Structure 1
Amino acid sequence: MNAHLAAVMQILIALAFVSIPIVRARFGPAATIAADRELDRQGIRPGVLAENDIKFDASGHETWAPVSVAAVMITIAALNFAGSGWGQTLTWIFQSLVIVMNGLILLSNLTAVSSVRTAFERKGDPELTRIDVPAFLEAAKNAFPGWVRIQQNIRHAIVFGGSVLALAAVTLV
């Protein structure tokens, strides 16, 4: 029965991770438009984001990374539902990794301004280094509905709490 609890938590974690590209796909284009408008307000040349492949949508790693995590969680959940010993072993490995990865996501969100400044500097485009990064990020963030911030907090709670519960459940098997 404890393995079933772990499996349920893993399914919830998978859904939490899949929510990332869904939200980005739905509202990311509007965030890109808002960011472009902010850059225009700052006197930054049009198209600098596109030229440097900077977007807020669900392309690239914004989709494949969370979908991959979700696929792994669903696979381990199936093993746990089936009562396979592999479920317990893989839960220990991957739930620990998920906690670390989600911690890095949270850290990235909290240090976004400095991270984006550093990324812009690395791109080597002098136009990017002139950007008022806090205003740029705020414009993009405001293009997402207010409930997205609540959803992010819920997602973090599900991922952290669900991972801890899944680890506890397979430990008590």
Structure 2
Amino acid sequence: MNALAAAMQLLVAVAFVSIPVVRHRFGPAAKAAAVAELRRQNVRPEVLDENGLRFDAGGHETAAPAAVAAIMTAVAALNLAGADLARPLTWIFSSMVILMNLGIVYSNLTAVKSVEAAFRRKDDPELARVEVAPFLKAAENAFPGWVRAQTYVRNTTVFAGSAVALLAVTLG
């Protein structure tokens, strides 16, 4: 059962690593599409950089998923080694991963509202003029179609893999 938990944790790690990989590869195209949409809306594109808005894999977009992947890999190694700490750490971190991924899914589903709110908080009159839905849609459309499917596979892998890991250490 420890090997099953470890395998699931490694799948979760790979799923999290896929986030910055995809953003690194297609983020520049998403930014170019967002800039084009801002121009269409007669909003200065420089407003993105001035307010630290990114579409690439910089900053926390890489650090957070990489940290999750590293932690899940370490816990998987403990499970493979049969360490006593593997079980409680699996419970802690697999549960946290499920909760974090719920937050990611919620954020994706409410992106327009949350970006509108973030733009209002910035108190930048230029950002206030942005029509957020077409702005985000333009950026999203710059990613290849398979990225949407990859997102569903990633979320399924994270939820199911974490649940199976929890079940495996519980029954093991």
**TM-score in terms of structure 2 length:** 0.99
Q: What is the letter of the counterpart of residue 125 of structure 2?
A: P
Cα deviation code 1:23-71 (max 9, x no counterpart): 0000001100100000000000131101111011000110000000000
Q: Which residue of 1 aligns with 2:41?
A: 42
What SS class does the counterpart of residue 159 from structure 2 fall into? helix
Q: What is the letter of the counterpart of residue 99 of structure 1?
A: I
Cα deviation code 1:119-140 (max 9, x no counterpart): 1111110110111100000000
Q: Which residue of 2 aligns with 1:120?
A: 119
Q: Which residue of 1 aligns with 2:166?
A: 167
What SS class does the counterpart of residue 85 from structure 2 fall into? helix
User: Does structure 1 residue 139 correspond to structure 2 residue 144?
Assistant: no
What SS class does the counterpart of residue 24 from structure 1 fall into? helix
Identity level (%)? 61
Q: Which residue of 2 aligns with 1:152?
A: 151
Matches within 5 A, 1:1-173: 2-173=1-172
Q: Distance in 2 between matches of 1:155 and 1:46?
A: 32
Aligned residues: 172
The more displaced of 13-22 and 46-55 is: 46-55
Q: Distance in 2 between matches of 1:104 and 1:46?
A: 29
Q: What is the letter of the counterpart of residue 60 of structure 1?
A: G
Unmatched runs of 5 consecutive residues or more in structure 2: none
RMSD: 0.5
Q: Distance in 2 between matches of 1:37 and 1:72?
A: 39
Q: Cα offset for 1:85? A: 1.2
Q: Distance in 1 between matches of 2:133 and 2:44?
A: 18
Q: Distance in 2 between matches of 1:45 and 1:145?
A: 26
**TM-score in terms of structure 1 length:** 0.99
Cα deviation code 1:59-92 (max 9, x no counterpart): 0110000000000000000000000111111000
Unmatched runs of 5 consecutive residues or more in structure 1: none
Which 4+ stretches in 1 moved above 4 angstroms? none
